[in-house]
Amino acid sequence: MSKCEQCIVREFSALKALNKDELIRMADCKTSYVVKKGETIFDEGDLLNGIYCIKDGICKLSKLSDNGKDQIVKLVKKGELLGQRSLISEESTNLSAVAVEDMQVCFIPKQEILKFFNENNQFSLNMMKSVCGDLKDADDGMVNLAQKTVKQRLAETLLKLESDFGTFEDGSLKIQLSREEIAGMIGTATESCIRLLSEFNKEGWISLQGKKISIIHKKELQRMI
Amino acid sequence: MSKCEQCIVREFSALKALNKDELIRMADCKTSYVVKKGETIFDEGDLLNGIYCIKDGICKLSKLSDNGKDQIVKLVKKGELLGQRSLISEESTNLSAVAVEDMQVCFIPKQEILKFFNENNQFSLNMMKSVCGDLKDADDGMVNLAQKTVKQRLAETLLKLESDFGTFEDGSLKIQLSREEIAGMIGTATESCIRLLSEFNKEGWISLQGKKISIIHKKELQRMI
DNA sequence: CGAATAGTATGACAAATATCATATTTTACT
DNA sequence: AGTAAAATATGATATTTGTCATACTATTCG
C-alpha cells in the first residue's frame, strides 16, 4: 500500500489540509486501482461510499439525456477529487464518470472523509471552495449554452482544452477526445461539431491530423467568443 | 433591531445550525432592509462583504451575456441565502441579484460568517450541502439547455415554477415573471417564449390572463419533457 | 494480413429558433 | 383620464442547427 504522505497530487485538492496523522489514516483505508480508457468509475444513480482522488489521468463527468446523447459537464484531471457532491449531499450521483485516458485513482471511504470534515476545519473549507468553483463553472456553462452559438462554444472549448491540459511539442492538444466527446462538451450534434472543426481547419485557425488537434491562430478563436 | 432568534426563515437555510449565542451575535451585526421589485441587491463583479438572508420575497440570479440578454441561473426565495459562493471563493460575484418582487433581506457581514465556519461544524456542513444542491441544479440545467428543445424547457420551467412557488386560489402561479424573464430562464429569445406560451395556451395546456399564468393540464406538460 | 467495425467527413434537406417588423395591449405617470 | 412608454403578440423571413444518407478513413481483432 502506497503512502498518501508521499503522494504529490494531494496538494492539488482539499486533501492538502490534512496533517500527518490524517494522511496515515487515509493511506490505511484507501484502495488504489487502475482505470483503463473508456472504463466507468461510477454511473448516474450509483450510491457512492466514498470519494475518488485522481492520481493520474482524466475522466469525463457526463449525464445521459433522453435523446441518447451524453452531455459532458466537466473534465476532471490529476489531483482533483471525484464524487464529493454526492457524498456531501448524501444522494446518489447525478453524473457518471468515465475515463478519457488511462487513470490511477484512489478510493477513500466515506467514513474517513466525514471524520476529516468533523475534525479538520480547513479541509471542510477547502472542499467548500472546490465545490464553489465547480458551481461557478457550471453557472458560466449555462450562460454559454443558452446564449452563445455552437461555433463560439467550440472555439471556447478548444481554447480551454489547451489552457487546462496543455500541448505536446508539436503543438497538438495533450487531451485527445473523440468528435462525439467534443460535441458532448459543447452541447451539439456530432456532425455539427465535425463540420465546424473542418471549417476552423479550412480557415486555418486549427489543424487536424486524425485525433490530433492543434490551435494555430489562438487570436482568431478568441476573437469569436 | 429585530432578533434573529425569533426569525423563522433561518430554519430554512444553513443558519439553522446556529445556537442561541451565535444568533444573538448575528442579530447584533446584521442590517436588515427592504428591496423593491426591480432593484438590484448586487451586480456581477461586485465584491461582497457578507451574505444576504432572504426574509421575504424572491430575486433572480442572472448573468448578462455579450448579446445583451440576461440569462437567469436561479431564483432565490424566502429562507435562502445569497452570496455564499462569492464569499467562500473569496472572489467577486459572477452573477447579479435583482428583486423579482418586493423583498426583505438581512445582510450578515463576512467576518461573522467566517467565525461560524470556524466554530460551528454543522453550519459548515449545511452550507456545503446547500452549495452542492445548487451545483446539482446547475449541472441538470446545463444538460437541459444543451439537449432539450425550447418547448421542453418552457414546459419544465412552468411546472417547476408551480411546484416551487405555488399557486393562488384561482390556480395562477404565485410568482409573476415577465415574458422576458421567462425567456431568460429557459435561454431563448423573448419572442420565441411568447410564441410558445401562446401555443400552449391555444392547446389548452395553460391559460394566460395578462401576467397571470395558470397550468391547466399538468399531465400534458409533463408528457413533453 | 484482411475483414469488420468504429470513427470521421460531407452533402442534402428539414426542423428549430432567432431576428426584424409591426400591431396591439397593458402599465406607468402626470 | 389621457398620453407615453413598456410589454405582449404575431407574421414574415433568415439563420442556425439537427437529421439522415452515404462515403471515406482508421483501428481493432481474429
Note the pLDDT tens digit of each residue in B38-84: 999 999 999 999 999 999 999 999 999 988 899 999 999 999 999 99
Q: Do strands A31-35 and B70-77 pair parallel, antiparallel, or not at all (unpaired)?
A: unpaired
Burial of B113 (0-12, 13-18, 19+ CB in 10 A): buried
Measured CA to CA, the distance from residue A119 to residue A27 in angstroms comes to: 17
Mean of the per-residue pLDDT values of chain B: 95
pLDDT attached to residue B80: 98
Residue A158 pLDDT > 80, yes or no?
yes
pLDDT attached to residue A204: 95
Measured CA to CA, the distance from residue A134 to residue B117 in angstroms comes to: 20
B180 touches strand D (CB under 7 A): yes
Residue A18 pLDDT > 90, yes or no?
yes
Residue B203 pLDDT > 90, yes or no?
yes
Closest listed residue to residue B211, CA positions, set B101, B102, B60: B101
Q: What angle do CA A157, A65, B141 make, to 5 degrees?
A: 65
pLDDT attached to residue A86: 96
Element of type H or E holding A24: helix A20-29
**Residue A146 pLDDT class (50, 70, 90 cuts):** very high
pLDDT attached to residue A66: 86
C-alpha cell at A149: 452559438
Give the mean pLDDT of A18-23. Answer: 95
3-state secondary structure of B55: strand
Beta bridge partners of A166: none
Task: Give start and end residues of each alpha helix (H) in A69-224.
Answer: 84-89, 110-119, 121-147, 150-165, 179-186, 190-203, 218-224
Q: How many CA atoms lie within 13 A of B68 on its CB side?
A: 2
Quickly tell me which residue has 450578515 as its cell.
B108
Query: B170 with B188: CB under 8 angstroms?
Result: no
- Window 3-62 of A, Cβ < 8 Å to B: none
B210 touches strand C (CB under 7 A): yes
Residues of A in contact with B69 (CB under 8 A): 147
Q: What pLDDT digit, counting tens, does each position of A52-99 carry? A: 999 999 999 999 998 889 999 999 999 999 999 999 999 999 999 999
Quickly tell me which residue has 391559460 as its cell.
B207
CA-atom Rg of chain A in angstroms: 19
Quickly tell me which residue has 462554444 as its cell.
A153
CA A168 to chain B, closest CA, distance in angstroms equals 31
pLDDT attached to residue B1: 60
A5 touches strand D (CB under 7 A): no
Measured CA to CA, the distance from residue B214 to residue A155 in angstroms comes to: 41
Taking CB atoms and an 8 Å limit, are B125 and A127 in contact across chains?
no
Choose, out of B71, B88, B139, the residue to mutate when testing the contact with A (most A CBs < 10 Å).
B139
Measured CA to CA, the distance from residue B203 to residue B206 in angstroms comes to: 8
Taking CB atoms and an 8 Å limit, are B132 and A71 in contact across chains?
no
Task: Give start and end residues of each alpha helix (H) in chain B.
Answer: 20-29, 84-89, 110-119, 121-147, 150-165, 179-186, 190-203, 218-224
CA A42 to chain B, closest CA, distance in angstroms equals 16
Across the interface, of A73, A127, A145, the residue whose CB is closest to B128 is A127
The count of residues in chain B is 225
Measured CA to CA, the distance from residue A20 to residue A13 in angstroms comes to: 16
A194 touches strand C (CB under 7 A): yes
